[in-house]
């Protein structure tokens, strides 16, 4: 498989704080990369950089057919638009348009941004809503849906753009526990269908089951990378082991703190 995402030397600072410090990794076409790490480690900034929602200070990034050297000066609007068009983001808090129906939320990007015919976009949207288990919710509004249903609409909306890569920013962290499974099931189905995905998450079980590659990010760097068996099952770095111990046994950390 060829690489669909290549990140080389990614750096980003917010004021005087360096958040990313030379991040490097690759994502093969048709694979799932899961990024784990503590809050404030830089993992969401990595993800947002792949869609240029955050503009890196330096680094050469390739996503799909577009490569930008962010250290060579600020890219033009046209370059950024081509770069962003390679991927689609599923956000932590849904970010649906509250005044639009579910169907309109899914068709807005294809019609308005990609200038595709309305009939084509609507037909595709109904297929995608069926795929995520919401075929009978097309005419409802976001406020009429549960959090898990809204997140599945967000996934359908991302897929409607026909991206080369789907980016997930902690897609289950804002959901009630009983709703998490429905969203993860949709994501597992996408992985089984060969979608290229980069997922920031704390769902370690999902990473074990679905990821081809796991990156542990801390302090703005990739501390450890490898297969789930390597990074989660037998981590080499002490910082990775400590993080996983606290995630998998939260009481251990609180007991030490007490």
List the chain domain ranges: 3-228
Note the pLDDT tens digit of each residue in 181-223. Answer: 999 999 999 999 999 999 999 999 999 999 999 999 999 999 9
Are the C-beta atoms of 34 and 211 separated by less than 8 Å? yes
Residue 82 to residue 217: CA distance in whole angstroms: 28
What Rg value do the Cα atoms of the chain yield, rounded?
19
Give the DSSP H or E segment for 222: strand 221-226
Residue 61 to residue 241: CA distance in whole angstroms: 29
Note the pLDDT tens digit of each residue in 161-182. Answer: 999 999 999 999 888 888 899 9
Percent share of the chain, pLDDT over 70: 97
Q: Which CATH number is correct for 3-228, 3.40.50.300, 3.40.50.920, 3.40.50.1820, 1.20.1630.10?
A: 3.40.50.300
Note the pLDDT tens digit of each residue in 21-39. Answer: 999 999 999 999 999 999 9
The DSSP bridge partners found for residue 165 are: 87
Label residue 258 by pLDDT band (50, 70, 90).
Answer: very low
Are the C-beta atoms of 24 and 220 separated by less than 8 Å? no
The pLDDT assigned to 63 comes to 97
Label residue 256 by pLDDT band (50, 70, 90).
Answer: very low
């Amino acid at each position: 498989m060829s690489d669909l995402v290549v990140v080389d030397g990614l750096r980003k600072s917010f004021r005087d704080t360096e958040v990313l410090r030379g991040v490097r990794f690759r994502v093969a076409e048709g694979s799932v990369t899961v990024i784990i790490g503590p809050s404030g480690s830089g993992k969401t900034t990595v993800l947002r950089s792949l869609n240029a929602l955050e503009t890196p200070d330096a680094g050469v990034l390739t996503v799909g057919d577009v490569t930008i050297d962010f250290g060579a000066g600020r890219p033009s609007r046209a370059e950024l638009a081509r770069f962003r068009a390679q991927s689609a983001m599923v956000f932590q808090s849904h970010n649906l348009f509250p005044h639009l129906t579910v169907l309109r939320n899914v068709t807005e990007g294809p019609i308005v941004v990609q200038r595709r015919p309305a009939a084509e976009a609507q037909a595709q949207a109904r297929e995608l809503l069926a795929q995520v288990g919401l075929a009978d919710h097309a005419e409802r509004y976001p406020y009429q849906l549960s959090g898990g249903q809204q997140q599945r609409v967000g996934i359908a909306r991302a897929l409607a753009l026909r991206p080369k890569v789907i980016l997930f920013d902690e897609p289950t962290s804002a959901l009630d526990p009983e709703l998490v499974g429905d969203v993860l099931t949709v994501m597992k189905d996408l992985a089984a269908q060969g979608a290229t995905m980069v997922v920031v998450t704390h769902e370690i079980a999902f990473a074990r089951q679905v990821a081809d590659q796991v990156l542990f990010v801390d302090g703005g760097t990739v501390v450890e990378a490898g297969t789930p068996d390597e990074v989660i099952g037998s981590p080499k770095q002490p910082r990775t082991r400590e993080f996983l111990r606290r995630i998998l046994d939260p009481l251990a950390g609180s007991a030490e703190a007490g």
